[in-house]
């Protein structure tokens, strides 16, 4: 039976991954900080998938862990390394925005963002790969953002690292049967902006994506063997333009949207 471990799996894109994988009959390991929300999500997923799954309700394991801490990361690393309960798909989705500029923000918040967006992705991927390579199959999906292609503070820089890291790991895994892909969505209807205390009202409606659509595109791109997935034609076009405009111009554009993304 396929097992998927999803960080930040109780809401937004992480929950959408959980919904899709449950519908496919996969067992789940959900990772998040809030124990109550983990229990609620697990109960919902077991109920939603139970009628569709031939062999009974989906198995949902929960891990309450703060990936900004050594203890939290170690807990999840340990689960990924368990040989008798292998994880076939790792989705590094946990993340957050700061909603303020680098100069005006708290350095502690900046470092916490790095711990979750970079250090956790690095360590959890490293913990998952040995077993996957040994079995000759498996996938790692690292959730980045189209912000990776537009310079705008620590958030953008961390997501640019995720893209570069994922591409490097994917190249290293060539021929092993294991895949690694960076997922780069644009503005997506989730709790992300509320948590970052960012007002989304100034963002045009056409720029918004649905979380389930993002996940469907990611799964399709993973099956195609892509190393970077950018859901929706409109964001593919925007990313393409960002690669050809002068860097100084894209930096100014990034500053212009820094309070929204």
Residues belonging to the active site: 155
Measure the CA angle with vertex 233, ends 186 and 91; round to 5°.
Answer: 45
How many angstroms separate the CA atoms of 235 and 213, rounded?
A: 13
3 state DSSP class of 131: helix
Distances (CA, A) of 214 to 27, 89, 118, 143: 21, 17, 22, 11
How many angstroms separate the CA atoms of 200 and 259, rounded?
A: 9
How many angstroms separate the CA atoms of 122 and 131, rounded?
A: 16
| Cβ contact 218:231 at 8 Å | yes
Pairing of the two strands 60-64 and 89-92: unpaired
Copy the structure tokens of residue 64.
Answer: 């309450």
């Amino acid at each position: 039976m396929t097992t998927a471990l999803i960080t930040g799996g109780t809401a937004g894109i992480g929950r959408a991954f959980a919904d899709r994988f449950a519908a496919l009959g996969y067992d789940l390991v959900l990772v998040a900080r809030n124990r109550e929300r983990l229990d609620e999500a697990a109960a919902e997923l077991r109920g939603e998938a139970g009628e569709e799954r031939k062999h009974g309700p989906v198995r949902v394991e929960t891990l309450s862990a703060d990936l900004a801490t050594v203890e939290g990361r170690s807990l999840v690393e340990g689960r990924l390394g368990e040989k008798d309960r292998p994880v076939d798909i790792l989705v590094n989705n946990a993340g957050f925005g700061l909603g303020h500029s680098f100069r005006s923000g708290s350095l502690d918040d900046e470092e916490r963002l790095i711990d979750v967006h970079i250090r956790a992705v690095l360590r959890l991927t490293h913990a998952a790969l040995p077993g996957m390579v040994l079995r000759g199959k498996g996938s790692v999906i690292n959730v980045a953002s189209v912000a990776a292609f537009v310079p705008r503070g620590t958030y953008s820089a961390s997501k640019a690292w995720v893209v570069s890291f994922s591409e490097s790991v994917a190249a290293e895994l060539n021929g092993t049967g294991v895949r690694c892909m960076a997922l780069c969505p644009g503005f997506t209807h989730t709790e992300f902006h509320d948590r970052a205390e960012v007002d989304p009202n100034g963002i045009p409606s056409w720029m918004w994506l649905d979380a389930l659509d993002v996940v469907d595109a990611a799964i399709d791109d993973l099956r195609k063997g892509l190393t970077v997935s950018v859901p929706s034609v409109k964001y593919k076009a925007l990313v393409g333009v960002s690669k050809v405009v002068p860097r100084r111009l894209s930096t100014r554009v990034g500053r212009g949207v820094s309070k929204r993304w």
